[in-house]
Structure formats: C-alpha cells, structure tokens
Chains A and B, each alone.
Chain A
Amino acid sequence: MTAVVDAAEVAESRAPSRTSSAVVCGVLAVALVVSTVVAIGLGSAVVAPDDTARYLWAALSGGQIAGSEVTTYQIIWEIRTPRVLLAALVGAGLSAVGVAVQAMVRNALADPFVLGISSGASVGAVAVTVTGGLAAFGIYAVSAGAFLGALAAAVLVYAAASGGGGMSPLRLVLTGVAMSLGFQALMSVIVYLVPDGEATSTVLYWTMGGFGAATWGALPVVAAAVVLGTALLLRQSRTLDVLALGDETAASLGIGADRQRKLLLLLASLVTGVMVAVSGAIGFVGLVMPHLVRMVVGAVHARVLAVAPLAGAVFMVWADLAARTVVSPRELPLGVITALVGVPVFLSLMRRRAYLFGGR
C-alpha cells in the first residue's frame, strides 16, 4: 500500500513542469522582442528588421539618422512603435486578468468582460461621443468616458452581487451577464436615438477592439496598470490556487473567499477598464490564453501568471499585425483576427491534450 517514494524521485517527477515554465518564459520573452521589432517594421511601408532596430536605437539613445530617412523614422517611431507596444501590453493584461477572473468566479467560460466591464465602457464611450461631454480631457475624452463607464459597470456588479448571502461565484457571473445585456440595450438606445455616423462607428470600434488610436500619450497609464496588476496577481498566486479548491476549503486554509473575490473584482475592473478605454473590448484573448497556458505549464497560478502575460503579448502583436496588413490599406477589426486564429488553435490543442477544467 505504502509505496515508498523518496524526495528526489518526487522532485524529479515534478521537475519537467517547473523547468518547462522557466524555459517557456525565456522563449516567449525572446519571441516577444523579435515579434515587436518585426511587427514595427511591417505595414504598408516595409522596413527591414535591422533598419527598424537602428531607428529604435536612434530614438532611444538620441542618435543621428540621415535626412532622407526622417519620414520612415517617423512612421516607425511615432505611429507603429506605440501601436505595437500597446498591443503587447493589452495582450499581456487581458491574459493576466483572464486568469484572475476565471479563478475568481471558478468558471472556465469567464473572461475579463464577463462582469459587464466592456459593455459599460462602450456605453461610456458612446455617451461621450454623442454628448461631447468630458471635453476637459481633450483627445482622451472618449477614453475617459470608456474608463468611467467600465468603473460604473464594476461598481454596479459589485453592489448587485454583494447583497444578501455573500458574493458567490455564480452570483457574480449571473450579475455580470445581466448587466452586460442591460448596457448593450442602453447602447442600442443611444445609437438609435442619435443616429449620427460617429456614434455608430464608436460602437463598432469599442465592441470589436483595435489599436488604431494608439499614441505615446496613453502608453504610460496602460503600462502602469498592466504591470502593477500582473505583479499584484503574481503575489497573490497561491490565494488563487486556494480559491479553486472551493470556499469551504479556502476557509480552512485561512482564506476568506468572499473578501478575496471583492479585492480581485476591484483589481480586474481597474486594469480592464484602463485597457478597454484605449483599445476597446478585444474578445477571446482573455478567455482562451489562460486555458492554452494551463495546458502547457499546469494549473498552478504562480506559473500560469508568469507565462500567460508573455504569451498574450506575443499573440496580440501578431494579431494586430494581421489586422492592419491582411486587407491593407483597410484594417480588419482585431476581434475578428483573434477569434479566427485562436479558435482553431484552441480546438486542436483541446483534442490533442487531456485537458481538464472543472471535471471530466
């Protein structure tokens, strides 16, 4: 009965997943740097990777470039670089928040938008577009409106879900889904009553997502939100593990599940709100990337949260590149690309590997 297994043997049996998560992180980090440089170079005007790297170095170090190259330099540095960096950041953030939200509501179908945050943001953005409010924010007025809408949605979901018998996972999901439908109805009403083209295109942009509006100005806020959010989640990774064991077991391990869910909801809302404000609601990444990563490195959140942001960043850089080059000079909505590429990849991985989430 008692098979004697010594520590070394167990360490060995666990070793593959551990080393592989470090290796996976290393590979993805290199892939991210390469992808970023390549993606910055590609577009309607193609710039070779070594030239791209030279321009980027010149911009960062304050070096010299020839006068004939100024136009190319400006395309690279002023337009494409912030766009690609934003794509990487949002891809990383959506993946990390997706992991957290799936653990928070204990649901494999959850993503950062399941709590109504994206539809809240859309309502905010459309409301600003139609009314011309928040003019004090200048060119960031619509983004500010989207952020406020996202926060309003989060507050409403929180208030509705936390009454009575505590914030159970199912209650959170149901409240979020109901709120989403409500916000979508509200958005439809606004667009219907104020049938101007700008409101309609704002709606389209925010529901499909995209990085066309990327500027250097918005990057620091997004970077701070994503990096801080991911770091906080990584620090709490064992708590996320324990939450997956159920509320009763969590209590016996000294963790109050309701309180942790409130904190996670707050964190997820803030980070998602910032991202939605600059890029719209890019679907699929936050849903699927956590699952893809778990298939490779296992379920422990310390590893999932280390790998998922990198994987999400690489994926988003290439998805954005595809969105702006496939039917160039027109742009495909980013959500179309993420779904078209992601779904087959996800399905094939599901078939190949014995992947379990929430039972057999």
Chain B
Amino acid sequence: MDLTLDQLSVVTDGRALVRDLSLHVGSGTVVGLVGPNGSGKSTALRCIYRALKPSAGTVRAGEEDLVRLPPRQGAQLVAALAQDGAVDLDFTVAEAVALGRAPHLRGNQALSARERELCVRAMDRLGIGHLAGRGVLTLSGGERQRVLLARALVQEPRILVLDEPTNHLDVRHQVELLSQLRGSGLTVLVVLHDLNLAAGACDRIGVLSAGRLVTAGTPQEVLTEDLVEDVFGVRPTVVPHPKSGVPQLLYSIHPDSEESSPSCA
C-alpha cells in the first residue's frame, strides 16, 4: 500500500511548520526524510500517525484518506515509532509488544491464539524473545527500540513511519534496525539525521527545509555537495560507497577552514 502526502500544510499560532508538502512513498519502498532541525520532519510524520490534524492537504494510505478515517481504522493501516519519552509503567516486554494489537481489539478483549503467536514471532524476529518476561524499564536503548519495532509489527500495518529511530543507538544497533526495516516488506517513511545511513537504507530521500520539500529522489540524485551545503550549511565531500556505490558524505573538520564550522545538522 502506498502513502501519499498531497499539499500538506500545518499552521500553528500563525507559523507554518509544514508548507504544501507533497511526497509519494511507493508500496514496499523505504523513503527517508531528512532536513535540519525544525524543518518540519516530525510535524509531517505526526500528521501521518494522526497525532496532529493538518491545516490543509491530505494524507492517503492507498485510497483511504487518513485524516478522515476513524482513529482505530487508521491505526490498523499505519504504525509508528514516535518520539515519546520513557514509558511510565514497568510492563514486561511481552505485554508492551502485545499492546500493538490495541487497534484490532474491542474494550479489554483478550488476545486470540493467533495474535499471541504473532507477538511471539515478532519478538523472535527482532531477537528479543528471550526478554519476554523482562520489564521494559530495565532494557538498554537498543533493546527498547526493538521492543517498539516489534510492537509496531504486531499492529500488522501496511505502512510504518518512524521518527529518528536510530537516536541514542550505537552503530551496530543503528545498522541492525535499518536492516530490519528494509526486511519488513512494509511501506516505510523514516526520519533520519544521519545522511550516510539514509543513503544506505533508503530507496528514495526527501529533503525538507523550513517546512518545504526541497527535492526528492534517489540518494544519488539528492545527496549532492551543493544540495547539502544549501540545506544544511555544511559542504561535504561526496564519495561513492566502495561496495554498494551509494553516495557517502565526508566532512572536513579543522578549525581554520571557513565553511566547515562544526555545526551538527
């Protein structure tokens, strides 16, 4: 199922956070959303998982208008890894994962045998089966992120959106998480800060700046030295990855160079 943002705008307190954003995520593809802090990436994502109502424009999952769809039905199509703070209550890993079934269940209806099996398989797939009985508040950052992904998978969505899922993860867990996303077969829209990871993990990349889409295309098309300098204010050296050929960005950091003040994008 494909995901389409059409002329999406979000205005709060007279300030446009997102302006006329149109973006298409093809069925089964992974699209990255990059841009400097405050460029409207999270805001756009929040409209897709319905934490926010857009001021104008539509969000469509296949033919369904997500803005108009009842919340539960929307949640059956779209799952999200949002930027929430820590969970308050010490659910076990198995309990936290099972909450992904919430949009499919009425009231306090119990999980069916199939749904329990689904949860077990999702935990195994993400390598957290052995943690099933552990409290989520005792997990490391990498483990916790995999619990969230397992919860999103048992939601059985067609579309998955993720807001900076690699934050606070070490390199191994970053690579693992993005590999798991690629292997999920879902339509994925993911906000990433690390442009090199985005180049390696995404079929297409959309670049946001000040709430507008600057450009969208394959990593080769988008991640040019000029564009990165325009949008992020830092000029990188772009080289092809020695094995995969995807563009990789190298930054020069030395105190005397004029353009390359270490402002972290």
Contact = CB atoms under 8 A, between A and B. Distances in A.
A1 B130 CA distance: 10
A251 B86 contact: no
B237 interface: no
Given A244-B87, A298-B91, A251 B71 contact: yes
A356 B135 contact: yes
A117 B257 CA distance: 64
A224 interface: no
B99 A245 contact: yes
Contact of B82 (A241, A252, A255, A300): A252
B94 A10 contact: yes
A248 B83 contact: yes
Residue from the set B71, B79, B89 with the largest chain A CB neighbour count within 10 Å: B89
A254 B86 CA distance: 19
Nearest to A15: B133
Contacts, number: 141
A242 B99 contact: yes
B259 interface: no
A296 B264 CA distance: 47
B186 to A, nearest CB: 14
Nearest to B109: A238
Contact of A254 (B71, B84, B127, B130): B71
B127 A299 contact: no
A11 B123 CA distance: 13
A69 interface: no
Contacts of A17: 92
Interface residues of A, number: 45
A266 B85 CA distance: 27
Interface in B118-171: 120, 123-125, 127, 129-130, 132-133, 135, 137-138, 155
B75 interface: yes
Interface of B: 46, 49-51, 70-76, 78-80, 82-92, 94-96, 99-100, 102-103, 105, 107-108, 116-117, 120, 123-125, 127, 129-130, 132-133, 135, 137-138, 155
Interface of A: 1-7, 10-11, 13-14, 17, 106, 108, 234-239, 241-242, 244-249, 251-256, 294, 298-300, 302, 355-360
Top 5 closest pairs, chain A to chain B, by CB: A254-B75, A246-B84, A5-B129, A248-B82, A252-B80
17 contacts: A1-B127, A2-B129, A7-B117, A10-B94, A11-B116, A246-B82, A247-B51, A247-B84, A248-B49, A248-B80, A248-B84, A251-B80, A254-B76, A298-B91, A299-B91, A300-B91, A356-B138
